[in-house]
A and B are shown apart, each in its own frame.
Chain A
Amino acid sequence: MRLFSLRLKLETLLAVLLILVISSATGTQEENIVSRDEGSEVGRSESSGLDVESLSRDESLSLSSVTSAETESLTSEKSITSEEPVVSTPSIHWDESIGVNEDVSYQFDEKLTLRPLPNNFLQSSFMFEMNSTEFTPGVSSIDFDKYSHYTVFPKVFNSILHTTSARKLQIRFTRGFWDAESWGRLPHDGFKAGGSGVELWAVIEADSKEDAYLKWKKLANLLGGIFCASLNFIDSSKTTFPHTSIADDFELPLFDSNKQLFLLRAALANEPVCTENLTPFVKLLPTKGKSGISTLLDGHKVFDSYWHSLSIDISTRCDATSNICYDHMEANVDVVLHVPSTLSRNEMSIPKPVSGDNLRCDETKFYDAFHCFPKSESTETSYLISKIYGRQLKGSNLISNHPSRVCADVSEDWNILIELNGEYFATDNNCFDLTNNAKNDIYFESSNTTSISKSDDVPVFVSRSLISYGNDRGGLRTVFRNPTNKDVRVKYLEALPWFMRVFLSTMKLETGDEAVEKEELRRLLSSMHYLPAIDRKRPTNLEYDITIPAFSTYVVSYQFEKTLLEFAEYPPDANHGFEVESAVITVVEPVNYQIRTSTLLLVLSTPDFSMPYNVIILSSTVMGLIFGTLFNLLVKRLLTIEEADRIKATSGPKYKLRKLKEKLLSKFAPRKKD
Chain B
Amino acid sequence: MGIYGIQQLTLRRLVGLAFVAIYLLFGLPLWYKLTSVHRATLPLEYINNLSHDRHNDIHISIPFFVDYNRKYYSNLHAELQNVINSKLSTLENKPIDWTVNVQKMNEKIEDSIEIDPTSYHVLRLKEGPSLSLQKGEDSTVSIVEFDFKSVEYDDLLQFISNSMLNDIFKLESSHFSNNYNTKEHQLSISYNPTVHLSLSLLSGDGSPISWDIDNSLKNYITPLRKFLSPVFNFTVDTNLVYYSDLNLYKLNELESVSVKDISYVADISEVSSIDDFSEAVGLNLAIVFPSSGTAPTGLNFINSTELTIEGTDISTQWESFVIPQWGVLIINKYPLKSKAVLDDNYLKPIMYQFSEKIIQLLGIEQVNNEMTSPYIILDSFKRYVTVKNLDKSLETLESLVRLTQTFEQMAIPTEVAEDVKTAIQLRNKIIKLLNNPKLAGNQVWNEALLLSNELVKVCESAFFDGKMVQQNYFPQEHKMAVYFPFFGPTTLVLLLGLIKLLKEKKNEEIKSEESETLPTKNNDGNEKEKI
B234 within 8 A of A: yes
Q: How far is the CA of A165 from the CA of B526 in the complex (A)?
A: 99
Among B1, B208, B237, point to the contact of A106 (Cβ < 8 A). B208
By a CB distance below 8 angstroms, the chain A residues around B207 are 87, 398-399
Q: A94-B337, A637-B9 are in contact. Are A150 and B490 (CB under 8 A)?
A: no
- Of the stretches A13-21, A152-160, A576-584, the one at the interface is A152-160
Residue interface bits B265-301, CB-to-A below 8 A is 1, else 0: 0000000010111100000000001001100111000
Q: A100-B337, A104-B210, A147-B218 are in contact. Are A624 and B242 (CB under 8 A)?
A: no
**Interface pair A144/B229, CB less than 8 Å apart:** yes
B527 within 8 A of A: no
**Interface pair B214/A98, CB less than 8 Å apart:** no
B213 within 8 A of A: yes
B78 within 8 A of A: no
**Interface pair A87/B15, CB less than 8 Å apart:** no
Q: Which of B242, B244, B511, B529 has the most chain A CB atoms closer than 10 A to its own CB?
A: B242
**Interface pair A159/B19, CB less than 8 Å apart:** no
A300 within 8 A of B: no
Q: How far is the CA of A92 from the CA of B298 in the complex (A)?
A: 8
By a CB distance below 8 angstroms, the chain B residues around A88 are 338
Chain A residues 354 to 413 lying within 8 A of chain B, measured CB to CB, are: 397-400
By a CB distance below 8 angstroms, the chain B residues around A60 are none
**Interface pair A287/B485, CB less than 8 Å apart:** no
**Interface pair A98/B340, CB less than 8 Å apart:** yes
Among B205, B233, B236, B278, point to the contact of A147 (Cβ < 8 A). B236
Interface size on A, residues (CB 8 A): 74
**Interface pair B8/A222, CB less than 8 Å apart:** no
Closest B residue by C-beta to A106: B208
Chain B min CB distance to A327 (Å): 13
By a CB distance below 8 angstroms, the chain B residues around A621 are 485, 489
Among A144, A155, A634, A650, point to the contact of B511 (Cβ < 8 A). A650
Chain A residues 85 to 141 lying within 8 A of chain B, measured CB to CB, are: 87-89, 91-106, 141
Chain B residues 346 to 370 lying within 8 A of chain A, measured CB to CB, are: 346
- Of the stretches A261-269, A448-456, A460-468, A612-620, the one at the interface is A612-620
Q: How far is the CA of A94 from the CA of B217 in the complex (A)?
A: 26
Q: How far is the CA of A286 from the CA of B16 in the complex (A)?
A: 84
**Interface pair A627/B490, CB less than 8 Å apart:** yes
Chain B residues 482 to 496 lying within 8 A of chain A, measured CB to CB, are: 482-483, 485-486, 488-490, 493-494
**Interface pair A616/B297, CB less than 8 Å apart:** no
A3 within 8 A of B: no
By a CB distance below 8 angstroms, the chain B residues around A96 are 334
Q: How far is the CA of A647 from the CA of B485 in the complex (A)?
A: 35
Q: How far is the CA of A638 from the CA of B12 in the complex (A)?
A: 10
A151 within 8 A of B: yes
Among A87, A144, A147, A400, point to the contact of B237 (Cβ < 8 A). A147
B335 within 8 A of A: yes
Chain B min CB distance to A402 (Å): 12
Chain B min CB distance to A466 (Å): 37
A142 within 8 A of B: yes
B100 within 8 A of A: no
**Interface pair B296/A93, CB less than 8 Å apart:** yes
**Interface pair B489/A628, CB less than 8 Å apart:** yes
Chain A residues 638 to 674 lying within 8 A of chain B, measured CB to CB, are: 638, 643, 647, 650-651, 659, 663, 666-667, 670
Q: A94-B334, A631-B494 are in contact. Are A159 and B339 (CB under 8 A)?
A: no
B422 within 8 A of A: no
By a CB distance below 8 angstroms, the chain B residues around A106 are 208
Among A92, A101, A142, A151, point to the contact of B240 (Cβ < 8 A). A151
**Interface pair A145/B526, CB less than 8 Å apart:** no
**Interface pair A92/B296, CB less than 8 Å apart:** yes
A62 within 8 A of B: no
B239 within 8 A of A: yes
Q: How far is the CA of A151 from the CA of B338 in the complex (A)?
A: 15
**Interface pair A100/B489, CB less than 8 Å apart:** no
A148 within 8 A of B: yes
B230 within 8 A of A: no
Q: A94-B334, A95-B332 are in contact. Are A101 and B339 (CB under 8 A)?
A: yes
**Interface pair B336/A94, CB less than 8 Å apart:** yes
Among B242, B337, B346, point to the contact of A287 (Cβ < 8 A). B242
Q: How far is the CA of A225 from the CA of B486 in the complex (A)?
A: 47
**Interface pair B292/A87, CB less than 8 Å apart:** yes
By a CB distance below 8 angstroms, the chain B residues around A650 are 511
Q: How far is the CA of A623 from the CA of B489 in the complex (A)?
A: 9
Q: How far is the CA of A636 from the CA of B337 in the complex (A)?
A: 104
Closest B residue by C-beta to A148: B237
**Interface pair B334/A95, CB less than 8 Å apart:** yes
Residue interface bits A548-563, CB-to-B below 8 A is 1, else 0: 0000000000000000
By a CB distance below 8 angstroms, the chain B residues around A196 are none
**Interface pair A147/B489, CB less than 8 Å apart:** no
**Interface pair B296/A91, CB less than 8 Å apart:** yes
**Interface pair A627/B238, CB less than 8 Å apart:** no
Residue interface bits A63-100, CB-to-B below 8 A is 1, else 0: 00000000000000000000000011101111111111
By a CB distance below 8 angstroms, the chain A residues around B244 are 288
By a CB distance below 8 angstroms, the chain A residues around B43 are none
Q: A141-B235, A142-B235 are in contact. Are A95 and B12 (CB under 8 A)?
A: no
Q: A93-B298, A94-B335, A94-B336 are in contact. Are A623 and B486 (CB under 8 A)?
A: yes
**Interface pair B12/A635, CB less than 8 Å apart:** yes
Known: A98-B336, A141-B235; 5 extra A-B contacts, CB below 8 A, are A95-B317, A100-B341, A103-B339, A105-B339, A635-B497
7 sampled A-B residue pairs with Cβ under 8 A:
A91-B297, A141-B235, A150-B237, A150-B238, A158-B276, A287-B206, A631-B493
